[in-house]
Amino acid sequence: MSEKVTVTSPFWKRYRENVVKEVIPYQWAVINDDQKIVVPKDPGGNDDSDEVSNEWSHAVRNLRVAAGEEKAPFNGMVFQDSDVYKWLEEAAYALAYAPDKQLQDLCDQVVDLIARAQEPDGYLDTPFQIKSGSYEHRERFSQIQQSHEMYVMGHYIEAAVAYNEVTGNQQALDVAIKMADCLNTYFGPEEGKIHGADGHPEIELALSRLYDATHEERFLRLAKYFIDVRGVDPEFYDKQNEAVGDGSTDIFPAMREWSHEYTLTARPIRQQQTAEGHAVRVVYLLTGIAHIARLTGDAELKETAERLWANIVRRRMYITGNIGSTHIGEAFTYDYDLPNDMAYAETCASVGLSFVARQMLEMDTKGEYADVLEKQIFNGAIAGISLDGRHFYYVNPQEAYPEASEKSPDHAHVLMHRAEWFECACCPANIARFIASIDRYLYTVHEETRQIVAHQFIANEAELLDGVKVKQESNFPWDGHVEISVEVPQGSKPVDLSVRIPSWSRSQYSLSVNGAEASDLPLVDGFVTVHAEAGRTVVALDFDMSVKFMRANTAIRHDAGKIAVTRGPVVYCLEEEDNPAPLWQYQLEPDAASKASAQYKADELEGVEVLTVPVVRRTSDPQDSPLYMPVDEEPAQEKTTATFIPYYAWANRSVGQMQVWLDSAR
């Protein structure tokens, strides 16, 4: 379906054209060592290693070495191969909307290199093949908590499915099938096979996609096995770790100390009640769970997906859609623990939660799934890439202060500007493949019931089902007027068009069908449904685009008495570039939202809607003031205005303070 969806949205066309013109060439130059890089200290706290260059990626070189075409030691993180695979996947999606023979020829060459590097039995993971340095004596799948072997192969399988779908390259898919068959040889319930799951989930969702592409039942069975075997033996990783020695040659020594709760192995996943541990691992696994539940009709697995989803989005998600509260282990902590200035909120986790939302929408047409996806599309995920496409965030805080990042170890993971690259470079290609594939996130189509679910408001032209054409026109997210036309060919059966009414506009919106008022159509799980017969049906919507002040649940102690500013789907922030510091002196009066104004500025930040909001600003105490003083000696206050920009666009101009949440004036 995705190849028949053409994005016309000005907002998203800019991002997608940027991927083609800037992101793909830049990232290729990095992974192919044509571009020297300067990387910051790893935000995840991984120890520096002699096997990781701070200037060169060597990701493509590792494949040449594994293919026997060059001699060099392995370089990079153990999952370095995945940088190449995610680049290939983003390139595949870009080729679907911007055909480029030169890029496709390059991708074909990369696929051919990967095929040459693959072992005869299908195994492919360059650190374990090159056998240099600390990998010299490592055996396949002997320490899968740490090795990332299946994580890396999963990313190749995803790339191969996408590249085959877009270009028809059979070699890409053959390598993936051979790889999956290798895993099937090593893993499964049979005697003599390994009875354990990957340390970093990814293969589950990848095998599900491979099944979709090939309809080979063995891939579906293996994906389901990896889900169901997790936690059956909570000691599985411990036993493997003990078997390889005392830990002196571990890839990630700290992983030996990880609890079974953190690794989601304390119990079978169907019994898991909360999202624990590494946020990216959780959402990748949850994507596979939801996909397998849908493919197999497994009701218990579906309930598991719903339960873990609810825990994340109702208790552990930032207002921007970001997830992951702490840099220690890049992890979830506990319900309602959402610190702003120490947030981790990894870009990959936002992209991963988008994967989950898409799969949940495939199972059920529920507004909450699409609302969360929208949060990522216009806030959390795209904050991970700069407007120039050449700089990236790994960590996405809700508050940032230069001095804290520079001098406080607790805030060192929060960068004040996006980096060129990272030692652990999972995020740059991840956000790029999400942007390049955004056309795949706009509709859910149910052929058996002839239902088209339009859940995202990104202008596009699409051909769905058997020649049914859908056209969406809007200037979203800056304008709330959306028109969706459906053309059903003569002689074709009618279709049902289900359109989401966003949660932020559910109390105020207007709807018409073919010019007739239809706002009284029933709202079911956040959607209204219009029956479209043969011919043209036009649905027009007007959403509430007024500035809104939001408060947090009282259980979130970090936001008690604070207010966040939103307009439509976009979350806004204060930035020092526009407002004199310190930003913590600004207070919002609860009734000021009605006095706020919005203005589109085409010449700022590639075109954004800027908000001007009345505020109260406390004056700073004189420098020689006591550290503490009586409350009746309150600082003077002045009424003024503050300028807010979209959160995703912060840190694209200068280094300075940033805040999403502001104090509420008393």
420 has catalytic annotation? no
- 618's enclosing H/E stretch is strand 608-618
- How many whole angstroms from its chain centre is CA 325? 15
* Residue 187 burial (C-beta neighbours within 10 Å; 0-12, 13-18, 19+): buried
- Residue 249: partners with Cβ closer than 8 Å, 6 or more residues away: 134, 137
Residue 245 Ramachandran class (φ > 0 left, ψ -120 to 50 alpha, else beta): left
For residue 425, which phi and psi values (nearest 5 degrees)? -95, 45
B/e letters for 113-124, b = 16+ CB within 10 Å, e = fewer, are bbeebbeeebbb
Structural tokens at position 179: 């790889």
330 has catalytic annotation? yes
- How many whole angstroms from its chain centre is CA 283? 9
Annotate 165-207 with DSSP letters as a single string.
HHH--HHHHHHHHHHHHHHHHHBSSSTTSB----SS--HHHHH
Contact 388, 579 (CB under 8 A): no
Q: Which of 182, 424, 426, 573 is catalytic?
A: 426
Helix (H, G, I), strand (E, B) or coil at 101: helix
Sign of CA dihedral 88, 94, 100, 101: positive
Helix (H, G, I), strand (E, B) or coil at 16: helix
Q: Which of 330, 362, 575, 609 is catalytic?
A: 330
Neighbouring CB atoms inside 10 A of 619's CB total 10
Sign of CA dihedral 398, 37, 163, 219: negative
From CA 543, how far away is CA 501, in angstroms rounded?
8
For residue 491, which phi and psi values (nearest 5 degrees)? 90, -10
| Among candidate residues 296, 330, 127, 280, the one with its CA nearest the CA of residue 217 | 296
Q: 3-state SS of the chain: helix, strand, coil percent to 5? A: 40, 20, 40
From residue 594, alpha-carbon distances to 435, 565, 615, 652 in Å are 34, 12, 12, 29
| Among candidate residues 154, 312, 310, the one with its CA nearest the CA of residue 226 | 154
- How many whole angstroms from its chain centre is CA 562? 27
What length does the chain have? 666
From CA 359, how far away is CA 293, in angstroms rounded?
10
Contact 311, 275 (CB under 8 A): yes
Secondary structure string (H, E, C) spanning 541-598: EEECCCEEEECCCCCCHHHCCEEEEEECCEEEEEECCCCCCCHHHEEECHHHHHHCEE
Report the catalytic residues.
Answer: 330, 426
